Amino acid sequence: MNDRATVRRLPQRGAYDAETIHAILDAGFLAHVGFCLEGQPFVIPTLYGRVRDEGGGQDKLCLHGSAASRMLRELSAGVPACVTVTLVDGIVLARSAFHHSMNYRSVVAFGTARKIEDVQGKAEALRVISDHLIAGRWDDVRNPTAKELKATSVLEFTIEEASAKIRTGPPVDDEEDYALPVWAGVVPLHLQAAAPLKDARLNGDIPLPGYVRRFHANGNGHHGTEEQ
């Protein structure tokens, strides 16, 4: 592994194994893609999907957007890029201002992207992104037309190196500060889907799909099962 993916600050929080990295990527759905164009850095948020390769090949992410997107146009030229995914699990309140922190899980991935040109490959990549966000939806909806596919750019980002960084647990104060009369602890944070709201123009008595009923932002299902 190159130095660029090495966790330097608080290296004990770093992880480099595929299982940890995949778990974080699979729990998230929003990535920030960083690249440099003519000396100007850009960081663009975008949805992604992870390609699950059971054959042991290089890890890949699918990214998509408008065919006019500057980010996708530049990345398709093979410029080096950095993709980050961060999940915030809690605000850590310490007894001192210095030791306030967050509990989080994050991945930083380095690599390059290629533009998917063939229609079948592009449609498959879009299915990967759709199923990553909410599994089962792609099979329900109308597939993209040739015109829609032409208006959409899809990239396959190959992860050359990646690292995860994780913080869990309570605040860590200086020993002398534990006696201070200041509340300390963790405020947990969770991203959770609320009950689905049906479109006012929904035709007929179309039932709420089971995959929507079970949907949670990390794709593992949520507890709100009543449609409003």
Q: Where in the chain is the domain with CATH 2.30.110.10?
A: 7-170
Q: Contact at 8 Å (CB) between 34 and 82?
A: yes
Q: Which two tokens stand for residue 178?
A: 């534990």
Q: pLDDT tier at 2 (50, 70, 90 boundaries)?
A: low
The beta strands (E) that lie in 52-80 are given as: 60-66
Q: What is the pTM of this model?
A: 0.86
Distances (CA, A) of 212 to 19, 127, 136, 225, 226: 27, 16, 9, 9, 11
CATH architecture for segment(s) 7-170: Roll (2.30)
* Mean predicted confidence (pLDDT) in 163-180: 96
Residue 91 has pLDDT above 80, yes or no: yes
